[in-house]
Chains A and B, each alone.
Chain A
């Protein structure tokens, strides 16, 4: 009788331990992913999620073109090439002065939708 009881209680303990490991394992995927991200981008903001990406969201659609800057730069560098954009055309930073060619063309879709075809 007592043997049976102790056998049962041993099973319960193993059960609990197993559950603990399982819980830890379910927490790990997200943390492992976070570690991967921090390894790739060590300068990633300290605040999780946070206002960085919120501000980016609020500024969607912002395109900067200052004709004064553009013309002055053109005059100053008439013998040299103007710096061109890198792979990300939407991000305007630092010394890069956007040219009309950099801004993606705006044309409205006067073509009928293919869903109606």
Chain B
């Protein structure tokens, strides 16, 4: 196979081949609602991979060091820590059921031996510290090895406790709980490049927090109208710029993105930039606004571009050009003639995420039937791959998939009507520097890597 395009993160489409590496999760047909994965995120080094699920649990995988005796393993991800992050709650005052589902996980940059991440459900954000313990003190004076208190009158000599090695234990503890700041449902959290603050966004408001302070947050965006009947759009996603700590963006259900500068005013209701692609009025339909709703927005690593995902496409925007995207990629255009049934079964409201590779040369997003799509921005080639147990033999090369839109179906193609709309890939993540991707397929997590020569 032709060589991989460049080192870390290069290439994406057809420059090289993707291989199955690992799959995590149960195989059984009956999927419990709690096991459905709701978020996937690599940390800054890519050594840790976190998942959150509908049951409020977080599972963190760690990449194994490369082993000379097993050259193929090339760093497998194995369970490092797991904990219950959020519990279901009932707000009796508002008769509101609060789901424990983890909407987003965001890692903090590592500053010492411990790892920190933010996890959020609809209402509450928590800062978790994950630390290792591989030593234990023995020889206490006031208690014996079982932990029972010793009778102080029986102690005749003092001793200095000795640190002894023990089996590695990974502990997760909640260090901060940021609660009661959101009336509506939190859809995004984003850590600032200053490493001190972060934002949380719900349907109508965005708040700015300091990581150390839990009893106060600043409201920086409020789009709630005085009269709720005048409501026309909601905030769907928000993210801080990767380098400029004063800049953030938020997307809306109407397909627009607003870029705000916190230096210009304390309340950023007035945007600095407004990104919207002009619509062709002759093609407007009942579905136009719904399918234009942006489900995810992500800055490129370079900070020069941002990518938005709407129901049928992914768009790349140059921050210097507000009137239209610089690139548009069709994810599953064949669904345009199925919008009626997709509206009836609510699939039209599915929120797909998208991600960049480390060098910003490729982008990835999910689709139905456990398909996911990758687009190479340089070669303009795209590929459709499938996360399935059938192609899950170690190092098996993934075969490109193709959906047949009409007329004769070729062998190996699948027709639009045969697609399984219950198998949605909403969450994917790309390693920050290498060609390793994590794809969440309902209750299973697939890890794919590029082929090792």
Chain B associates with chain A: yes
- Pick from A30, A57, A108: contact of B283, CB under 8 Å: A30
Q: In the complex, which residue of chain A has the Cβ closest to the Cβ of B232?
A: A51
CA distance A28 to B289 in the complex (A): 17
Q: In the complex, which residue of chain A has the Cβ closest to the Cβ of B228?
A: A55
Which residues of chain B (418-443) have a CB below 8 Å from chain A? 443
Q: Does B5 belong to the interface (CB within 8 Å)?
A: no
Could you tell me which A residues sit within 8 Å of B by CB distance? 27, 29-34, 36-38, 40, 44, 48-51, 53-55, 57-58, 60-65, 106-117
Q: Does B284 belong to the interface (CB within 8 Å)?
A: yes
CA distance A11 to B56 in the complex (A): 64
Please report the total number of B residues contacting A with Cβ < 8 Å.
57
Indicate with 1 or 0, residue by residue over B317-352, a CB within 8 angstroms of chain A CB atoms.
Answer: 000000000000000000011111001100001000
New contact pairs (13) apart from A48-B288, A114-B35, A115-B35, CB-CB < 8 Å: A30-B283, A31-B285, A34-B287, A37-B344, A49-B293, A51-B231, A61-B99, A61-B185, A63-B96, A109-B100, A115-B79, A116-B79, A116-B82
Known: A33-B339, A63-B97. A114 touches B286 (CB 8 A): no
Do residues B337 and A113 form an inter-chain contact, with CB atoms below 8 A? no
Could you tell me which B residues sit within 8 Å of A by CB distance? 24-26, 34-35, 37, 51, 53, 55-57, 59, 79, 82, 84, 87-88, 90, 94-100, 122, 184-185, 203-204, 228-229, 231-234, 253, 282-290, 293, 336-340, 343-344, 349, 443, 445
CB-CB under 8 A from B340, the residues of chain A are 33-34, 36-37, 40
> How near does chain A come to B69, taking the closest CB pair, in angstroms?
26
CB-CB under 8 A from A62, the residues of chain B are 94-97
> How near does chain B come to A32, taking the closest CB pair, in angstroms?
7
CA distance A54 to B234 in the complex (A): 7
> How near does chain A come to B84, taking the closest CB pair, in angstroms?
7
Do residues B289 and A110 form an inter-chain contact, with CB atoms below 8 A? no
CA distance A65 to B91 in the complex (A): 12
> How near does chain A come to B100, taking the closest CB pair, in angstroms?
7
- Pick from B53, B122, B293, B338: contact of A113, CB under 8 Å: B53
CA distance A51 to B228 in the complex (A): 9
